[in-house]
Amino acid sequence: MAAPAKAAQDKSAGFLWGTLLVMVGCGLNNLVLEYMVETSRNPDADRRAGILLTPVQFVFVILASLPEVLNMSGKGGFLRAPAMPLGVMLLQVLLHAPMSHLNNIAFAFGKVSQVLHVVVRSAGGVASMVIGWALFTKRYSLAQVTAMLLATGGAVLIAVAERFVHAGDAAAAPGCCGDAPTPEAAATAALAADEAAAAAADGSNTPAWMRSAAAGEAVLVVVLVLAAFLTHLQSSARKRYPGASAGETLFWLHIMGVVMLLGAGSDAAPAAVRGGEEGMLAKAQRWASSRPFSALVDDVTGAPGWSSVLGPAGEAPCMLVLAVLNGLTQVFCIRGVTMLVHSAEPVMVTLVMTARKAVTWALSVVLFGHPTIWLHYVAAGAVFIGVAAYAQVPGPSPLPAAAVAHAKDGESKQPSRGTEPQAASDASGDVSLRRRKPATNAPLSESETDDDDGPARGVDGTVVR
């Protein structure tokens, strides 16, 4: 098989496997996360679990990718030299680790508007397209922009539909809206009071400037921009260093990043760095005192005897078991995302992640009877149509290719640049030798160099080393 054909086949296989891992791995990861942070599903849930959960995820990813970087030859160190320079990796770490930490503590920065949160979380495609155009010389056709906006709008509508469903459930709850108080309503009110007290306690350790709504909104926007920039940076690095495997990239990215996260989330770190949250050690001790995992399984399944198959594992604290399950599913999720980055352009990666949200909703309807309204179906249809359309519609017109052809035509009609002297007379009548200047409308080819003007540049303006 010819090398280009094999490369295209490997790229297609990577995209398909990456998409499958994202749909399954990220979907299960999100399901486990809901039981860790949603008190309506788990009374022991911790809405600010991220400051400890993210380092746990990093450790699982490091352990899973370690075999791919071990040096089995017996020569040199026990780790193989990475195909991608560590400096390039470090630049990605300096974006990835702070982005993860800011995402964890975003809601410690004041009361973030739910509407803004929905829009920002769904605007990854828009941010990726803008960053690609502004900083990475990417070009997109009108059809691609339209498809991306359709998918983004669908993602926003899914979140809006969920808010309608939750509002309807709350209105229909016993004791709501003028009904006589019931034990269920009293329990709900007590739980809400406990959550409010916990939130107030957390906020008491948060500096005043962090409690402003503007600070929270700014953090969400910063996370959005960092995520879009990181995706483009990883895509560019992958093209420049094609020998770097997905496992190698994951290992070095996470082993350097976990050090930063452990420092930012430690009990010794300033409260402002932790977002006013308790440290990781204190949080781990609280998780260790949660109820047994078997009790949570009984609540979820509605069949008390079913949890007996868990054996001794059923007696483990539910929050610690959920943290392990979340770390395991994160391995598959992040591997899928990395495979997509290695085989697709950044905007398409973001759109696949958007489609994953719609698939997760569809599975929750089929498997768990999740309540729906007509807006859900309209939104899911918009997401799937937008993603499929983006994959099929034509891209921008190939202007760079036309410029290359024009440059080659120009070379055949005039002497090679910098090789043939041209006679010219100055004011005194002396004849001097000058280099012939290229036509102003003829861009330089990748092989051309100019001793006077610095390094050569390709037709897209990038420096050719």
Residues 6+ away with beta carbon under 8 Å from 34: 41
User: Which region among 116-125, 240-249, 447-456 has the lowest average model confidence (pLDDT)?
Assistant: 447-456
Of the two residues 404 and 250, the one the predictor is more confident about is 250
For residue 455, is pLDDT > 50?
A: no
Q: What is the rounded CA–CA span in Å between residue 57 and residue 349? A: 21
What's the confidence (pLDDT) of residue 366?
76
Position with higher pLDDT, 330 vs 201: 330
pLDDT of residue 108: 63
For the cut 70, the answer to whether the pLDDT of residue 97 exceeds it is yes
pLDDT tens across 103-159, in order? 777 766 656 655 566 677 778 889 999 999 999 989 999 999 999 999 999 888 887
435 compared with 24, residue with greater pLDDT: 24
> Under a CB-based contact definition with an 8 Å cutoff, are residues 216 and 109 in contact?
yes
**Residue in the block written with tokens 């034509």:** 394
Please work out, in degrees rounded to the nearest 5, the angle formed at the alpha carbon of residue 43 by the alpha carbons of 38 and 44: 90
- Mean pLDDT over the full length of the chain: 75
CA distance 79 to 76: 8
pTM: 0.71
pLDDT at 177 over 70: no
- Please state the rounded mean pLDDT for residues 31-49: 87
What single-letter DSSP state applies at residue 430?
-
Angle, CA 160 vertex, CA 159 and CA 164 arms, to 5°: 115
DSSP 273: T
Element (H or E) spanning 379, and its range?
A: helix 374-392
Contact 109, 215 (CB under 8 A): yes
Domain ranges of the chain: 3-397, 402-465
SS3 at position 44: coil
The amino acid at 67: P
Q: In terms of DSSP H, where are the helices of 22-123? A: 27-37, 50-65, 86-105, 114-122
Query: What was the pLDDT predicted at 113?
Result: 59
